[in-house]
Amino acid sequence: LNRLPLSGRPRLAQAPLLAPAAILWIVLFALPLFSFLVFSFWSVRARIMRPDFTLQNYVATIREYGDVLLITLGMGLIIALATTTLAFLFAYAIRFRAGRYGDMLLFITLIALFGGYLVKIYAWKSILGRDGIINGFLMWTGAIREPLEILIYSHGAIVVTLTYFLLPFAILPIYGSLRAIPEDLIEAASDLGASSLQVSRDVVLPLCERGLGVAFLLSFLISVGDYVTPRFVGGGASMMGHFIETQFSFGFNWPKGSAMSFTLLAASLALVILCRTLLRRLLRP
Amino acid sequence: MKASAIATAAWSAFIAAVVTFMLLPLALVIVFSFNAAALTSFPLTGFTLDWYARLFANDSFWPALTDSLIIAAAVAILSVMVGVLAAMGLSKLKGRAAMLLLDILAIPMMLPALIIGIALLSFFVRVLSLPLGLPTVILGQLVVIVPFVVAILYARLSNFDWSLVESARDLGASPLTAFATITLPIIRPSVAGAALIGSGNTLPTLVWGMVRTSLDPTINAIATLLLGLSIGSTVLALRLLDYRR
């Protein structure tokens, strides 16, 4: 780009092009999030929100939901690790192992993006449910007499359903950074005597750090904030999102719901930064 | 030789397993939407269109469909308009500055939808005193969709040769003509992809209510229709934009 005569032009010339997106970002994202943060310091008396500056909502969040918060972060970590690992292996297979079937696998990944979130949760509910497909099949073959109760309404069901939903979203950014790795770099490394495992670890993995980071971040943050999957396939195994949603639908305690949201966000960001540091150490010894 | 044959077999097995994991649940939804039994369970009992008939007879189905289509169309059009402009602006900036702006722009895409949703809800209701309805749903969708659109288009535009636009301008073409005749034809497959993510994200409240209350094969029917609608609209958009060329 820099070789073009454009580079001499003042940067402000791009401002009108960026203005609509910037206005949208400020008015529909930054301002609402800021006012939402302000609400978290308000208090509620007789079911009415009152302007205030109290940390009471945050104290209550830690005291009442501290254990739920830890479970939620743990679940998010498990789901993000499972999703990112599967997505990396599959993207690696598309790029380096599948040969002429690569395009077809990429197309299958795109198909898997469709269908919508609720439809996918419903699909797993009907697979894992008490009268569902797995139980029905096992009873039909005679392997079991009574339906297995542990399939649905468990932490495992939440992990499977969310990994299923997030996998195509994670494959695409990782594949994007794998595609940018030139073939001759890999060839050069193996010509110099590196085994395929060494090539993967020392050449491929560090070069797709951005893709891996995006996939991990996306799947972690979507998992910790989710309240639909825990509700429909998780049963009693509830996560933070469920309790936040309750403050808005039944509790009418918006300031507390807001404090719970920002506690969840802050804890998630701290964990993400920790994971990022560890990943950096791991990829660049 | 033997070790590489084992590795190939292992990779094939892994690929087959992941493909099955990604496609089987949706395939089952489609199959059971045509199955006669009221329980979603094997063995299959026979072919029927009853679940579709029951869905079309449902009073709340048609208004829900209309609203979803209106939202999808509005979000697709608006997000592509805003996204194309932003991606063009970004692609003319230096790589580092563009990446930084792109990351800032992408924050709403990364945050949990629940938190963005309730933050917007409280902002619309408490601060702006707006009535909730289709317009607020469209605005809420835009926040999350626009970063996707910008990211997709920026990836395409950043390895796009701007000198073509410059020479057209030198020849006396207005910037708009240059955009419509040179920029758009080159980026349009990506515009289609971006517009589709825009419309594929609408959350049908009807399904929400159904999943919550029952495990009825009518949900299989509506899920199959949604799947057909999203894949069908993709194929149609790619056709209209002449993707084959």
Percent of residues in chain B assigned helix, strand, coil, to nearest 5: 80, 0, 20
Identify the three-state secondary structure at position B35.
strand
Mutate to test the interface with B, among A126, A232, A246, A276 (most CBs of B within 10 A): A126
Touching check for B89 and chain A: CB below 8 Å? yes
**Closest partner CB to A112 (pick from B23, B142, B211):** B23
Largest CA-CA distance found in chain B, in angstroms, rounded: 71
CB contacts < 8 A (A, B)? 236
pLDDT tens per residue, range A177-207: 887 777 777 777 777 777 777 777 777 777 7
**Mean pLDDT of residues grouped by 10 in chain B (245 residues)?**
78 92 90 80 78 82 77 77 85 80 83 82 82 78 78 66 55 45 43 42 54 70 80 63 44
| b/e A242-272 (16+ beta carbons within 10 angstroms → b) | bbbbebbeeeebbbbbbbbbbbbbebbeebb
Percent of residues in chain A assigned helix, strand, coil, to nearest 5: 80, 0, 20
In this predicted structure, what is the pLDDT of residue A18? Answer: 86
Q: For B26, name the nearest residue in chain A, comparing CA atoms only.
A: A123
CA triple A135-A139-A142, angle to 5 deg: 145
- Single-letter code of the amino acid located at A228: V
Q: For B95, name the nearest residue in chain A, comparing CA atoms only.
A: A1
Task: Write down the pTM of the prediction.
Answer: 0.81
* Chain A residue numbers touching B110 (CB-CB < 8 A): 217-218, 221
In this predicted structure, what is the pLDDT of residue B194? Answer: 44
- Single-letter code of the amino acid located at B243: Y
H or E element in which residue B175 lies: helix B175-178
Q: For B137, name the nearest residue in chain A, comparing CA atoms only.
A: A28
CB contact under 8 A, B126 and A20: no
Instruction: Decide if A80 contacts A219 (C-beta within 8 A).
Output: yes
For residue A72, name the pLDDT band (cuts at 50, 70, 90): very high
Nearest CA of chain A to the CA of B134: how many Å? 15
Identify the three-state secondary structure at position B55.
helix
Mean pLDDT on A230-238: 75
Identify the three-state secondary structure at position B100.
helix
CB contact under 8 A, B14 and A254: no
Identify the top-confidence range among A20-34, A35-49, A238-252.
Answer: A20-34
Q: Scanning the structure block, which residue is given the tokens 């830690």?
A: A62
* Chain A residue numbers touching B223 (CB-CB < 8 A): 115-116, 119, 122-123
In this predicted structure, what is the pLDDT of residue A284? Answer: 66
CA A86 to chain centre: 14
Q: Scanning the structure block, which residue is given the tokens 């005679």?
A: A142
**Closest partner CB to A254 (pick from B122, B207, B219):** B122
pLDDT tens per residue, range A93-145: 888 877 778 888 887 887 787 766 777 888 888 888 877 788 878 887 877 87
* Chain A residue numbers touching B90 (CB-CB < 8 A): 14, 18
Touching check for B235 and chain A: CB below 8 Å? no
Q: Scanning the structure block, which residue is given the tokens 């493909």?
A: B19
Touching check for B208 and chain A: CB below 8 Å? yes
DSSP state of B92: T
- Single-letter code of the amino acid located at B200: G
